[in-house]
Amino acid sequence: MDGVHDMGGMDGFGKVEAEPNEPAFHAPWEGRVLAMQRAMGYAGAWPIDASRFAQERLPPQVYLTVSYYQRWTLAMERNVIERGYADADELSAGRALRRGKLIARKLSPDVVKQGMTRGSFYRQAQAAARFKPGDRVRTKNIHPMTHTRLPRYARGRLGAVERVHGCHAFPDAVAIDKGDNPQWLYTVVFEGKELWGPEADPTVKISIDAFEPYLDPA
Amino acid sequence: MAQHDDHHEHGSELSETQLRVRALETVLTEKGYIDPAALDLIIEAYETKVGPHIGARIVAKAWHDPAFKRTLLDDGSKAVSALGHENRVGDHLVVVENTPALHNMVVCTLCSCYPWEVLGLPPVWYKSAPYRSRAVKDPRGVLADFGIKLPANTEIRVWDSTAETRFLVLPMRPAGTEGWSEERLTQLVTRDAMIGTGLAKRPEAVA
A160-184, pLDDT tens digit by residue?
Answer: 999 999 999 999 999 999 999 999 9
Q: Is the pLDDT of residue B8 over 60?
A: no
Q: What is the mean pLDDT of residues B56-61?
A: 97
Which of B113, B128, B161, B181 is labelled catalytic? B113
Q: Is the pLDDT of residue B9 over 50?
A: no
**Is residue A46 situated within a structural domain?**
yes
Whether residues A44 and A111 share a domain: the answer is yes
Compute CA distances A128 → A34, A122, A183, A185, B3, whole Å: 38, 15, 10, 12, 44
d(CA A4, CA A11): 12
Residue of B nearest to A183 (CA): B163
Q: What is the CATH number of the domain that holds A174?
A: 2.30.30.50
B82-112, pLDDT tens digit by residue?
Answer: 887 655 677 899 999 999 999 999 999 999 9
Mean residue pLDDT of chain A comes to 97
Pairwise CB contact (< 8 Å): A205 & B28: no
Let me know if B160 is exposed, middle or buried by CB neighbors in 10 A (0-12, 13-18, 19+).
buried
Measure in Å the smallest separation between the Cα of B179 and chain A Cα atoms: 31
Q: What percent of chain A has pLDDT over 70?
A: 100
Known catalytic membership, residue B112: yes
Could you give the ipTM of this predicted complex? Answer: 0.97
> Is residue B11 very low, low, confident or very high in pLDDT (cuts 50, 70, 90)?
low
Which of B77, B111, B161, B181 is labelled catalytic? B111
Domain that holds residue A173: 136-217
Pairwise CB contact (< 8 Å): A208 & B162: yes
d(CA B198, CA B125): 13
3-class secondary structure, A49: helix
Pairwise CB contact (< 8 Å): A32 & B39: yes
Start-to-end Cα distance in chain B: 34
pLDDT at B2: 41
Residue of A nearest to B77 (CA): A120
Whether residues A89 and A164 share a domain: the answer is no
Q: Is the pLDDT of residue B10 over 70?
A: no
Known catalytic membership, residue B108: yes
Domain positions in chain B are: 6-48, 52-205
**Is residue A8 situated within a structural domain?**
no
pLDDT at A93: 97
Contacts of B46 (CB under 8 A, 6+ apart): A24, A25, A31, A34, B120, B121
pLDDT at B91: 86
pLDDT at B87: 59
Q: Which of A85, A116, A147 is the last residue of a domain?
A: A116
pLDDT at A114: 81
Pairwise CB contact (< 8 Å): A24 & B124: no
pLDDT higher at B89 or B33: B33
A108-166, pLDDT tens digit by residue?
Answer: 999 998 888 888 999 999 999 999 999 999 999 999 999 999 999 999 999 999 999 99
Q: A59, A95 in Cβ contact below 8 A?
A: no
Which residue, among B5, B6, B28, would best test binding to A if mutated, counting the most A CBs under 10 Å from its CB? B28
**Is residue A91 situated within a structural domain?**
yes
Start-to-end Cα distance in chain A: 25
Measure in Å the smallest separation between the Cα of B84 and chain A Cα atoms: 14
Helix axes of A68-82 and A28-42: crossing angle, nearest 10 degrees: 40
Contacts of B71 (CB under 8 A, 6+ apart): B78, B79, B82
Which of B12, B15, B112, B133 is labelled catalytic? B112
B100-150, pLDDT tens digit by residue?
Answer: 999 999 999 999 999 999 999 999 999 999 999 999 999 999 999 999 999
Q: What percent of chain A has pLDDT over 90?
A: 96
pLDDT at A110: 95
Known catalytic membership, residue B161: no
Which CATH code fits B52-205? 3.90.330.10
Q: What is the mean pLDDT of residues A85-104?
A: 97
pLDDT at B14: 58
Q: How many CB contacts within 8 angstroms connect chain A with chain B?
A: 284
Give the global pTM: 0.95
